[in-house]
Homo-oligomer: A and B are copies of this chain.
Amino acid sequence: MKPAPGGLPRGRYRKEVIVMREVAVIGVGMHPFGRFTDKSIADMSREATVRALEDADVRWKDIQAAYVGHLYQGLVFGQRMLSEIGYSGIPIVNVEGACASGSIAFRECYYGVALGRWDVCLALGAEKMAHGLIPVTGMRPLESAMGYQVFPASYAMIFRRYHELYGLTIEQLAKISVINHNNGCLNPNSKYKLRLTIEDVQNSRVIADPLTMYHCCPNTDGAACVILCAKEKASEYVTGPLVTIAASQLVSNSYETASVLENCVTKRACDLAYEQSGIGPEDLDLIELHDCFTMAEAWHLGNMGVCEIGEEGSLIDSGNIEIGGRIPVNPSGGLLAKGHPVGATGIAQVCEVTWQLRGQAGERQVEGAKTGMTHCHGAQGAACAVHILKR
């Protein structure tokens, strides 16, 4: 039994003091991200699930519960998708937290196993996305009037503030897009496989000035599935070194108009995860973070403590966030290149970190990676979920 994490920072959020079992990721599976007009969401969910079951060498009848993340797929989505695998009668819970939906499904699954509720549990995320800008519901009048009702506008505003305060340039942001697209070229599950230049990024059409198309992640279809098992039982299914979960944190807020510069949910979730795991940002070998826009990646990097706030531009220029650098960020291609099927994104991040920690990431392998972090940021901070995995 792992000791309860202690010494969490006190705040308005609460400590979680719990006695937990160690939990291993024993199976991961994805349906590639992209546009698949000839496939149903059920086809994609089934393929991802079957791949995860095969990867774990787990039979469907051994799955004791499932959490399913999605945003747009209608009622009892998880029940409908998993009935494609079989009717086993297990508890299935659909969870939603905007762009963090998949990550929250993974988290609930993790705690279910960690606390002994189940030994083997499945998290599925899947989405078929519409075209165009994602509509945002529930905005308050002031926020709508400021342009917050579409996400690119809010990130354009954040950039302008960072530019004014810290000198972050749009070309530095464009470099993030170049890097993540380069990584996507190495990932068979990535929607885009594009070698871009900073000029290509800047010359793409304007979405929310000064953010152009390649500063924005594409709407994408896709599915991802992860199977978790109590570490003490994992040897029934898999052999070899195990990827385990060292931290799981979720913090919530509403749309944080007032705290753009602090980005408090990312900072709080990461600080809690560092405390929970004893693994700090300097110990991480890679990060899959929520780069829904280039500015989001820069914004989160500072708040994660990967660099000081205000030093994001230098970090981008340094090459340290590229594969081969000190701390590769979004080696999968991230949301910018791989795509962003909302419910699938958080679970796909776990797939990527798992492949990296197992040394199975092919051409995009981060050499010797032993720790990795995932980060999803839903609805402008309404939900931020962070996980640290290790082997």
Contact = CB atoms under 8 A, between A and B. Distances in A.
A279 B334 CA distance: 51
A137 interface: yes
A309 interface: no
B97 A93 contact: yes
Contact of A93 (B65, B108, B116): B108
Contacts of A204: none
A92 to B, nearest CB: 4
Interface string A223-262: 0000000000000000000000000001111100000000
Contacts of A254: 79-80, 83, 87
Contacts of A97: 76, 79, 92-94
B98 A95 contact: no
Interface stretch (A6-14, A178-186, A360-368): A6-14
B18 A90 contact: no
Contact of A137 (B74, B89, B111): B74
A76 B138 contact: yes
B93 A104 contact: yes
A369 interface: no
Given A71-B75, A74-B137, A75-B137, A252 B116 contact: no
A379 B79 CA distance: 10
A211 B138 CA distance: 37
Interface string A64-101: 11000001001111011011000111111111111000
A268 interface: yes
Contact of A138 (B14, B71, B75): B75
A79 B88 CA distance: 32
Copies in the complex: 2
Interface string A301-331: 0000000000000000000000000000000
A87 B11 CA distance: 12
Main secondary structure of the interface of A (DSSP, over half): loop
Contacts of A24: none
Nearest to A134: B75
Nearest to A108: B93
A61 interface: yes
Contacts of A264: 89
Contact of A115 (B95, B116, B138, B268): B116
Contacts of A115: 18, 111, 115-117
Contact of A14 (B19, B118, B250): B118
A118 B111 CA distance: 12
Contacts of A14: 64-65, 90, 118
A54 interface: no
A252 B90 contact: yes
Nearest to A42: B138
Contacts of A18: 115-117
Contacts of A71: 75
Most buried by B among A254, A265, A378: A254
Contacts of A379: 75-76, 79
Given A18-B117, A89-B12, A117-B111, A382 B79 contact: yes
A89 B11 contact: yes
Contacts of A108: 93, 108
Given A61-B12, A115-B117, A94 B95 contact: yes
Given A61-B12, A74-B137, A80-B254, A93 B90 contact: no
Interface of A: 11-14, 16-19, 61, 64-65, 71, 74-77, 79-80, 82-83, 87-98, 104, 108, 111-112, 115-118, 136-138, 250-254, 264-265, 268, 378-379, 382-383
